[in-house]
Structure formats: C-alpha cells, structure tokens
A and B are shown apart, each in its own frame.
Chain A
Amino acid sequence: MSTVTTPSGKDRGASGGILDTLRRLLRMRETGLVLIILALFIAMAFASPYFLTWNNMRAMAMAFAVEGVVVVGMTILLISGGIDLSVGSVTALAMVIAGLLFLNGIDPWVASGMAIAVCTAIGAAMGFFVTRVGLHHFIVSLAVMVIARGLCLLGTGGRPIGLYTLPPEFKFIGQGSIGVIPVVIVIFVVVVVVFDFLLRRTTMFRKVFYTGSNEKAAAYSGIRTKKVVFLTTTLCSTLCGVAGIIYMARFGSAQPTFGIGMELNVIAAAVIGGASLSGGSGTIFGAILGTILLSVVSSSLALLDVSVYWQDIIRGSILLTAVTIDHYLNKRRG
C-alpha cells in the first residue's frame, strides 16, 4: 500500500510498484524542497569553507529551531483557514511576562507556565472574536499584534531586561546540549514529529483539514467548525508562548522588541512548504523544510557578506518563486 502524506487528494496515489512510488515522491513538494536545500548546501560548501563546519551547522539549526515551533502552530492555523499576524509580539510578550515575574521573585518555571497561560488566553480571545463575534482572523490578529507589542514596551520601558540570575537548569533548555545536540533542537524535533504525526494521522486534526477545505461542508458533516477554528487559533498562540520561553532561556534576557517581522517569515515558510492561504492543505514537514530553506539562505547570504537589505529582497523573491511554481504544478495536475 502507498503511504499517505496528506488528506488532500493531490498527494495520494494508488498503490503500485517502486516506479510509481518514485514518481509520486518526485511530484511531492517536500522532495523538491529537499533537493533545493541540498543544492544550496553543495553550492555553499564550495563558496565558503566555513559553511560546512559543525559550528555553522549548529548555529543555523539554532536559528530556525525555535521559530520552527511557531511555524508548526501557524501551519495548523493556516490549514484550518485562519492566519495569525500576532505571532512575533506574542512570542516577545511571553518573554517579557516570564522575565518580569522572575525578577519579582517567582520561580522561573512557574513564571514560564504563567506566561504560556497568558499567551494561550490571548489566543483564546482571538478565537472568540473570530468564531463568536465573526471578525476576520487578519484584523483580529493585526490588532493583537499591536496590543501585545504595546504591552511588551509598557512592561519594560522599551529596554531589554537582563536575567542574570536565571538558574542554570532553566538556562539549560536554551543553551545546554544533550551530548552534542543542543536541547533547543531536541525540543524542536519533538514538537515537529509529534505534530506532524497528529496532523497526518489523527481524527482530531483531520477535522482541521475538513474545516479549512470547505467550512460549510464540514458543518454539514457534523463537525463543530467553530470549535475547531477556536482551538487552532489558541494552539498557535500557545506555541508562541513556548517559543518565547525558549528564547528567554537562550538569551538569558527578555527582549521587548524581539520578533518584529517574524510573522512574515513564519507565514512564508509555511506557504513555501505547501500550506494554502485559503485553507485545507499543508503539512508540518513541508513547512519545516520551508523554514530551513529560508534560514539556510539567510545564513548563506550573511556568510557571503551580502547586505541585509539584499537579504530581504532575496527572501521575498524566493517566496514568490516557490508559490508560482506550486501554482503551475497544481494547475497541471488538476
């Protein structure tokens, strides 16, 4: 039997020989991304001797790992038909809340739990405005993006707060390693594997696909679509909270201006990885490959001393190219 990658019809194939499997694999978006990333690696290995070093690999992985947690939440939300522009500021807010609580004598673990709870509540509030009041995700999260950033600045006076007294076992989640593997990466891999499995295989998350594909048809299949959207909205903010805490442990400080523009990166990664802005399709694995691609490109450009301004231009162009190619592939298959 064939393996099934997503519930969307496109990637499902009839069972068949190795050749069939191969052909299907080639048509999958993930394969294309892996090939592009490999090509980049090879090119960079020649262009810069430093690129293939363990230190650089590690630095690159650290760079996308935490953001990857947010990408997971965003992908699921996109599949359900929503979008969240507030991810950057909610991530920063988690840091700021946990940091301030810690400075006021609260245990860092408890402080972190409380910060994640606040982020969850923010997500739930957005879910409420979307599903009960009937506003659009875009507008609600735009408002929350601004409000959360305002709260960050209000709480800190706009300056980063140093958390020099964080206990080492807390810093461990951001800075430590298990063997040679950084803890951050372990967390990232666990989150990705778990959610990838849930999304592909469980009934609970299948309903997310149904809802995003055609909300009305989902309702006519007895699915409580509002509940689904409420939960995906909330989950995205919760994961932002988790990411914020990891960042805090890594930096040893709380940065109120952290994550500005993060939403664009995260949405771009998910879309490059195959998530549709109109809902109903997307995979975690693809989105993570999208994140890796963007991150490898960024660090390559940095290594090659390309100016930051050019980096933005190039990132934008990659997004446009990926989406265009996909559009045509889909058309041909359709």
Chain B
Amino acid sequence: MTAASHDDLILEIANLSKSFGPVRALRGVGFQLRRGEIHALAGENGAGKSTLMNIIDGILRPDSGEIRLDGQPVTITSPAMAQTLGIGFVHQEIALCPDITVAENIFMAATNSSRALLMDFRGLERRAAEILRRLGDIDPAAPVRSLSISQQQLVEIAKALTLDCRVLILDEPTAALTEREAQILFEIMRTLAGQGISIIYISHRMVEIFDNCDRVTVLRDGQYIATMNVSETTTGEVVSAMVGRVIDSLYPPKLAEDERSGEIILDVRGLTDRQRYREVSFQLRKGEILGLAGLIGAGRTEIVKGICRLEGTVTGDVSLHGRVLHLAHYADSIAEGIVYLSEDRKGDGLFLDMSIAVNVSALSVEQVATRAGIIDDRRETEQAERLGGRLNLRYGHVGQPVSALSGGNQQKVAIAKMLSVSPKVIFLDEPTRGVDVGAKAEIHRILRDLARGGVGIVVISSELPELIGVCDRVLVVREGRIAGEVTDDEMTEDTIMYLASLGEQPPVAS
C-alpha cells in the first residue's frame, strides 16, 4: 500500500509530548487518521492512549507537538471547541448525569448551545428514541441512574452520534457491552465510516480490532511504535509490538480430568430475591473456575451480590465448606472470606481520590493494624507493594491517588483489594474489563493459581471467549434462573448464547 496523500488525512499528529509531573505519558507521538477509516489504537494499560485522545479532545494540553486538522494546525483548548471542529469523544469512563433522563443526557451538548429558553422535552425524547432504536432497547424517558452499566455505555455512544462529527473517538466502548450490543456498535461504526466519518477505536480486544478496523497504531510506554494495515498483520505481531515481548497464551491450561475433585467449597441452595431471581442453586467445587454467563439484565450480578449480602432481601441457604452461613451484611461475608469484585470500579469499586495503599487495605484495615486498632503505615505500604507487584501494577509509588492511574491499572488495584484478605471465594464481575492483553493473561493465570490453591473462583463476564477460555464450567443465567450448565466440549459461544437467549440447548446438528 502506498503512503496516503495529504488530502486523505483528516487528522495528523506530530511529535506530541505530555508529562504529568515525573510521568512521561506521551513522548513525541505521531499519528495519522484518514478520511473514512476505522483506525484502532492499541497499547498496554498506561501506554498513553487515553491521554492522546484527551489531548485531541482539548481536555488536556500537550507540552509540545502539533495537531493538524484538514492540514491546518489547530490548538484545541476545550471539548466544546473540539465539538465545533467536528470531533466527538466517547470516554473510557462513563460520565453521565445520573438523575436526569436518557434523552436529556443525549442532548446535553445540543441543549447547551441552543438558544431556546425552554426545554422541549417531548421533542428531545422523540429524537432520542430514534437514535436509541438503532442501538437497542432503552427508554429515553428513564433516568440514567436506573440503567445498567452497558445501557449507560450505549447512551454515551448515542450522545456522540448526535453531534454530527467528522472524527469519532471511541475509548474502549465495548468494555462494558455484551457481545450482541458490541456487534450493533460495529455495524454503526461501519455505516459511519461509509459516510466518510473517521473513527479512532481503542480496545484491548484483538478480535474486535481485526474484525472491524482498517489500520492499527500501537503505542508503548508513551511512544509511537508502528502503524499497520490490519489486513497485512497478525494478532501476534500487534501484541508483541504492544508488550515488546511475545505472549504465548492468553489462557492458562484448564483443570485436567484427574485434578477435578468432588469437594464442594460453596453450596448455594434456593437463593431467592422476589423481584430479580428465584430458586437459584449451584455448587462451586474445589479447584475449578466457575463462569456465569447470560445477557445483560439476566440477573448474574444481582445473584452474586445477593450471596454476598450486598443488596436485595435474600432467602435461601449459602454454605461454605459444608457449614451454613448466617450473613446479614457484606461485612459478615468478608469475614467468612467471600468477596465481590464490582463491575463498576469507578462508582463502587475504588476510592479514586485516595492512595493506592489505602484502597488496597479497604476491605480490612484491621489487617494492617495492631491489635489495638492502630494502623501500621509500613505494613499498609508493604501490602500494597506486594500485591501490586504480584499483579504487575504500573505505578510511581503506592502513595499516589488511584485517579492518576490508567484504567487498566485501576482495575488491578481493585483486584489487589480483593486479594488483600486472602479470600476463600471470590466473585469477579467483569474482572478484565479495560485490562490489556498482557495483564489479562496475567489475571487469568492468577485466577487459575488461586483456584489450584483451593480458593473458589466465580467469574462473570460478558466476553464469551474469556469465559470459555478461563472457566472449567459455565452456568448460564436467564431471567433470574439458571437455565443450564455447559462443560468441556459443549462450551462454545453458540451453545451459551442459545441457552442465554432461549433457555434451552441448541438442537444437535446432524
């Protein structure tokens, strides 16, 4: 392929640098975006992807470097200015106003610049409905607070779609979407590209990049590494460009036949919460990693939160190693060694303005304190450093606020927090959301090691390849009930999707 002529380029970035204090997030990065292309941006957690996009959107100012739009040098000073230049941005972290309606959120930007004095709610809802129809089933009049994370993500996307942009930036949009919603998004992306809109697509999922993008640019440690045509490269090549070494396998080996034991760690019987799930029973065996699959809204998260007593009024028995537990509060659950990794790390997983060390010890500060309840700073620091090291956390020092970490590294802090109490059973809700390939492989390996060490592991994931790759057994949840179980050879995306949407096994192909 020949180099693009300059007319082809809508956005050009040259020599861009940005530091946060001592952290050099970008070092002389270059990037070129053609008209009508879908251009993937790949790189490990903390490589500088979001920082680069934030600069393009005017949220951050570069220390040096140049941005050209349509060949003209521009200085973008605010997101509002980026918008008028035709740049739309769907952020990695959801930032909607929770108390107002979906429609109002979608048209926030438009309302902002409108001259009309009164809000035309009907009109807004009608127009919002039109856009949302393409994305899925969301009520434009519902307050955002009532939506699931994936629905909120769709609203973010809808918001960007209303802007009439020429450049659309999507920062890990699928991290919070189900397979099906993601497919809808990809269709929309292709349509937009067909209309000449350029899309920058950030994702840690190689499959998505290879299925949907034209080119891919790789960043590593704040530096530009390479731009490749997707049709002319391989996943392996992109991944090794990202991590600077070869990653052999994303998933650790599963339990061998003879390693399976009948020993039951956790036994859940007849778990019921009248509104959301009924009569849920399952067992978690020693050594295995159990997956929970299902469509968004099926009740997976609710069931798990119910077991931990995080929400709902729950009836039914939960026994750990054969002993029936009496849990009234999540604190009791933690004391028994049953912990839950939240799917919403920003909202309820982490204390963003507090330090890494303080976050890691939050589940049990008592652990890093003397018997009299005096916190020992040294032990707290050591604990964070030890767990951070185990998860390959990238950070300056454990006294940094978590908000200064990249998305994926924040997730590792959330996982470190779970591990800090040496749990017996861990429920992980989307454990690798927003985590890069290298770290993902690492988290999977850690989960496997924990399982081998006798810790019960239950994984909820909307990424089917992950469930299939990691789990020894998958339960499919549908409308608040367990619709079926798949193991070994049955564990395919088809079988799981079939069970999740229809509640039955697919007919055996002849």
Contact = CB atoms under 8 A, between A and B. Distances in A.
A10 B330 CA distance: 29
B397 A280 contact: no
Contacts of A171: none
A220 B349 contact: yes
Interface string B384-416: 000000000000110111111000000000000
A14 interface: yes
Given A9-B358, A222-B363, A217 B330 contact: no
Contact of B399 (A9, A201, A206, A224): A9
5 contacts: A2-B399, A203-B374, A217-B347, A219-B310, A224-B331
Given A9-B356, A9-B402, 16 more contacts: A7-B358, A8-B401, A9-B355, A9-B404, A14-B397, A202-B374, A202-B375, A206-B375, A207-B365, A219-B330, A220-B330, A221-B417, A222-B363, A223-B362, A224-B331, A280-B351
Contacts of A281: 353
Contacts of B400: 9, 12
A150 interface: no
A224 B340 CA distance: 16
Given A203-B369, A280-B354, A222 B348 contact: no
A219 B403 CA distance: 20
A1 B404 CA distance: 22
Contacts, number: 106
Nearest to A220: B348
Contacts of A201: 374-375
Interface string A196-210: 000001111011011
A226 to B, nearest CB: 11
A1 B377 CA distance: 9
A4 interface: yes
Given A9-B358, A217-B349, A217-B351, A222 B377 contact: no
A334 interface: yes
Interface residues of B, number: 41
Contacts of A209: 354, 358
A8 B333 contact: no
Given A7-B358, A213-B353, A217-B350, A14 B366 contact: no
Contacts of B362: 210, 217-218, 221, 223
Contacts of B352: 214
A280 B353 contact: yes
Contacts of A218: 351, 362
A159 interface: no
A12 B377 CA distance: 11
Contact of B354 (A7, A202, A224): A7
A9 B404 CA distance: 10
Nearest to A12: B399
A203 B366 contact: yes
A202 B377 CA distance: 11
Interface string A12-24: 1110000000000
A217 B350 CA distance: 6
A4 B369 contact: no
A14 B396 contact: yes
A58 interface: no
B29 to A, nearest CB: 23
Interface residues of A, number: 33
A13 B399 contact: yes
Contacts of A3: 377
The residue in B330, B333, B417 that gathers the most chain A C-beta atoms within 10 A of its C-beta is: B330
A203 B375 contact: yes
Contacts of B342: 220
A104 B231 CA distance: 94
A216 interface: yes
A147 to B, nearest CB: 31
B289 interface: no
B378 interface: yes
A213 B353 CA distance: 7
Contacts of A4: 377, 399
Contact of A8 (B355, B374, B377): B355
B334 interface: yes
Nearest to A24: B399
A216 B375 contact: no
Nearest to B334: A222
B373 A202 contact: yes
B357 interface: yes
A201 B374 CA distance: 5
Given A220-B342, A222-B333, A14 B351 contact: no
Given A203-B366, A221-B362, A7 B355 contact: yes
A280 B364 CA distance: 18
Given A8-B401, A222-B329, A203 B365 contact: yes
B330 A9 contact: no
B374 A213 contact: no
B353 A223 contact: no
**The 6 nearest A-B residue pairs measured at CB:** A12-B399, A9-B401, A9-B355, A14-B397, A222-B331, A216-B348
Given A1-B378, A202-B375, A220-B348, A10 B401 contact: yes
A220 B310 contact: yes
A281 B362 CA distance: 16
A137 B401 CA distance: 28
Which of A201, A213, A222 has the largest count of B CB atoms less than 10 A from its CB?
Answer: A222
